[in-house]
Amino acid sequence: MSNRRRMTGVVTSNKMDKTVSVKITRRFRHRLYKKVIERHSNVKAHDELGCEIGDKVLIVESKPISKTKRWAVEEIIRKTVSPEHV
């Protein structure tokens, strides 16, 4: 297994061609006040699998693909059920 970083996140946009925007959320406890804090960051990832909005995906670090893309979708962990298919 490679030593590239892997993170999980939720797809927030898939309007671009072969690119998705992924929201990565991390939770941690504040050192002084002990309150649980949520912070998030948005990254763009290369998508060959055809992700939909709301899918939980595993992204992996890759070489720079474009000016803003440094990640690639490795697998879809959980698909969302869209109301159109029900």
- CATH number of the domain where residue 22 is located: 2.40.50.140
- The 3-state DSSP class for residue 58 equals strand
Count of domains observed in the chain: 1
Range of the domain at 42: 6-78
- Is residue 27 assigned to a domain? yes
- Is residue 49 assigned to a domain? yes
Candidates 23, 22, 17; CA nearest to 50 is 17
* Secondary structure letter of residue 54 according to DSSP: T
Q: State the pTM of this model.
A: 0.86
Host H or E run for residue 37:
strand 36-46
Chain segment 10-44, per-residue pLDDT in tens: 999 999 999 999 999 999 999 999 999 999 999 99
- Is residue 1 assigned to a domain? no
- Is residue 70 assigned to a domain? yes
Contact present, 5 and 58 (Cβ < 8 Å):
no
- Is residue 86 assigned to a domain? no
Contact present, 76 and 56 (Cβ < 8 Å):
yes
Chain segment 52-78, per-residue pLDDT in tens: 999 999 999 999 999 999 999 999 999
